[in-house]
Structure formats: C-alpha cells, structure tokens
Structure 1
C-alpha cells in the first residue's frame, strides 16, 4: 500500500484484468473472496486495463460497480470492441464505435482512462482508411474527455506517415515492450501507453531487477516529457511539452508474475 501512495501521479502502472485463478494465493491473499479481488488489486496497483470490453459489451451496472469499488485516484483503461478494428474497411466503423460508447463505459466517470483500439497482426496501414478511422474517434462523450490509443501490430505501420497521422489526431501509439510485435515507441499524444510482455517464471518479480530498473527509468523519462533513446521509433522524436501521464501495463508473458512486476515498478517510480 505504501508504494501506491508514494507513486508519481503521472505514472500509472497495472495489469490486464483482475480475475485470474493463479493469482489467488499468490497475489491475492488466501481466503479472499472473489468479489473483493478488484478492491484488493486497486489498492496495490494504480491502474488496470479492462480486457473483457474487447470481446463483448459489459453492463452499465458493471462499470458503475467497478467505479465504486476502487480508490478515488484509480484509473481504468479499456480495450475497445474488436468489432470496430477487426474489419476490412475501418472507415465504416462509425456505428460500432458509437455503440461501444453507449454501452455504459461513461459510468466509470473520472476513472475512465485511455481507450486502447487493438488491431490484428494482419491489419496493414492504409493511410486514407486509417485517417478516416481516427476521425471517427470522439474527443468527448457525455461531458467526459476521451483519450485514444491505437495498438498496431503490423510492420507496415512503422512509417513516418503513420506517426504524423497519430500526432495530428493526438492519438497515442501503444508501445510494445519485450514482445514479438513491432516496437513503435514514438510519442504522439499528451500521454504514453505502454504494454510490456516479458515476464518469466524464473523471476519472482517477473523481471530481473535490472530490467525493472530500466522500465522504471523509461517511464520516468516519458513522464518528464522525454523519449527513451533505446526504444525503436519510426520518425524523428519531437520535444516534449511539459510532463505527460504514463500508463504502463504488464501484460502476457508469465501472467502469474505480472502483479508482482507491476508492484515492483510502482516502488521504483515513487
């Protein structure tokens, strides 16, 4: 708990979801009832990426419940519906995007963080179509400002034209860390969204101490308005304008170790 209270307000660190059986007795104390797992997770992490929204709609009552079960300063990121991104013509996604935002996500109120629009590895960069998609993303819904991130997983996006387009719309490019996906670490928005996927069973905290130190250093650099020089970018970096909010999620890898890795990173960015 102390680590969470001391963590920088500009750097939010967490995991994907909170319901995972191997975390019971490892991350979650033995005997903790399942309905209190979100309460426990949100007391020890500073953000969670909700993955269930990618696969299907959640109930408005669920979003309201999640809002009420978490601390005042907690923030959820959401993976947007796959039905908007897994399509041949992205410019036709408007009705699907509208339905997503009418599904109750605004019940999270001020705890609604960035929306992650994740694309398949086979989705290639078609400039005009992708530009049309970005224009469909709302800047606000029901009075809430909405931030967007795009998780592209095809090498065709590794181009200055894509980076310029993301910057034009103020959309973050999700930074893939320690993974098989293309790393495009260009900062394109007033916030940074990173997903690191390299935890292993052999490390109690998922990552070695040196690897955790390195990711914490990168997060601090982003928060200060800089760009880590050791990550791959597709275009020349632009100077930062003041501080940025950073969202960093420990995803995939040895999933049972991810909460420990996230908590170790929270300690380091304090």
Structure 2
C-alpha cells in the first residue's frame, strides 16, 4: 500500500488440504510444490502443524527458502503451552516451542499465535504470568505475539489492559461460536475470518468481502473499524499497523478464494 499505511498480509491456515487440489491448486501440481504455489498466490500463511507437535529446523529453513521475498509465516503456538490449567507453569513448554527452529524463518517469521480452548476462562493473575513468559526476542530475532481467547470472561477491560501493557495483540476472530474482541493492543493487528460459507464461491458474499477489506485498510492506517465489538471505548494511538488477515475454518475449501478476493480488493 502506498498511502502511508502498513502492509496488509492475507492468507490461509496451512497449505496441504486435499479439497484445495483442483479448486485452488492447479490439476497435476505435485504436493511438494503446493507451498511454492500458495506463497505466490497469497501474502501470508498460518503454520498450524506447530500447534500439534514440534517441527525440524530444516523444515522451517525449507519453508523460508520456498516462499518468495516479502512473504510472511505466522506460527501457531504449541497446545502444550496453552491447553493447561495453570498458564504460569508453561515456561518450559514456551522455551521448547521457541527452540524447535522457528528462527530459521528469519525475516519471514510473522506473529506467534497462542490459541486457547473455548472453555479456558480469564484468570487475571495467571494470564498476566503467562504474558510475562513471552519473550520479545529469541536468538537475536524479534518476536511478536498474539493471543486468541474464546471465552466470554475475557471480554473485560482488565484483559485488554494486560494485553496492551504487554504489547501482545488480541486476535479478532469473526466467528459464530464465541465472542469477539476487536480492541487493538499491539503494534500489529491479527484477524481470523472463520465464518466462510461453502455456498459462496469466494467464501463470503461480496458485501462481506468489501467490509473486511475496508476493515483491513483501516487497521493498516492505524484506525479502528466501526461496527466491531470493543471492550475499551478509548481508541489506541493512530499509527500504521502491519495487519494480518487469515481466512480459516468455516468452509475451509473456500479459504483460498476468500483470501485471494480480499487481496484483490485491498490492492
């Protein structure tokens, strides 16, 4: 974008999904070339395999080598960090996650997404302790962190303040399954669009795609989109923010088409 806005990066979750073959990926494209194709059709990808288990340093290095310059990978944090009763005790798991080789992504490393179960309730002291476990750097590489919470107990000013003080982004998720929090709390924005419909060729109706593309442009300029659910009515400082929008879940087969439609609209 050339109007003083920060970059907007739009993508999907993962890149290996059989129903995308012949709908997103061309017929006959080998599976080992899917990342090569996806990283040129989109501008970001959320790596989900890291949520389920550790990956090899060589894998991160290969992904970085395969993607073009300017492409960014968000990395989903380990479930062994987030799916526990006491988050304050996750320090060793955080270290293990960071040490698996994510630094091999280099300048293609985007935010780390820490996603919590929908049953996880907000416990202020414990969550504050968790945020303190998230380092700003690892092996000389700057880190950015985003948290996706999915229980209504988080929709309180105390949670927003904790995230803002830590410089951690609260993920805005468009979902029919749990409450959304749109408050901007970091120097970047992380949004997940999770309500695609298979009946729509591009996942969302044109009016909805227009709305989300306008929201992305507003975030990138440093503003806050109207009509979203905010906990703290005080707007954050107006400063351009790198913005990540992932089309994920919902009708997954439509995710690449939704992402490409947003990229075309944002320009």
TM bucket, shorter chain:
over 0.9
Report if aligned partners of 2:156, 2:231 keep a CA contact under 8 Å in 1: yes
d(CA) in 2 for partners of 1:169 and 1:218?
24
Write out per-residue CA displacement over residues 126-164 of structure 1, whole angstroms, 9 at most, x where no aligned residue.
111100000000100011110000000100000000000
Aligned residue pairs, count: 264
Q: Which runs of 5+ in 1 are unaligned?
A: none
d(CA) in 2 for partners of 1:33 and 1:205?
24
Write out per-residue CA displacement over residues 184-211 of structure 1, whole angstroms, 9 at most, x where no aligned residue.
0000000000001111111111111111
User: Which deviates more, 237-246 or 224-233?
Assistant: 237-246
1:176 aligned partner? 173
Report if aligned partners of 2:88, 2:126 keep a CA contact under 8 Å in 1: yes
Select 2:72's aligned residue among 75, 82, 102.
75
TM-score relative to the length of structure 2? 0.97
Report if aligned partners of 2:160, 2:185 keep a CA contact under 8 Å in 1: yes
Write out per-residue CA displacement over residues 38-97 of structure 1, whole angstroms, 9 at most, x where no aligned residue.
000000000000001000001111000000000010000011000011111111100000
1:186 aligned partner? 183
The structural deviation recorded for 1:9 is 5.9
Select 1:50's aligned residue among 47, 53, 59.
47
Select 1:241's aligned residue among 214, 238, 241.
238
Q: Are 2:145 and 1:148 equivalent residues in the alignment?
A: yes
TM-align CA RMSD: 1.2
The structural deviation recorded for 1:101 is 0.5
1:15 aligned partner? 12
Report if aligned partners of 1:53, 1:78 keep a CA contact under 8 Å in 2: yes
Task: Name segments (4+ residues, structure 1) moved above 2 Å.
Answer: 237-241
Q: Are 2:100 and 1:128 equivalent residues in the alignment?
A: no
What aligned pairs does 1:182-221 form with structure 2 within 5 A after superposition? 182-221=179-218
Q: Is the alpha carbon distance of 1:30 and 1:213 closer, same or farther for their aligned partners in structure 2, counting shifts above 3 Å?
A: same
The structural deviation recorded for 1:239 is 3.4
d(CA) in 1 for partners of 2:106 and 2:251?
32
d(CA) in 2 for partners of 1:223 and 1:245?
6
d(CA) in 1 for partners of 2:63 and 2:241?
26
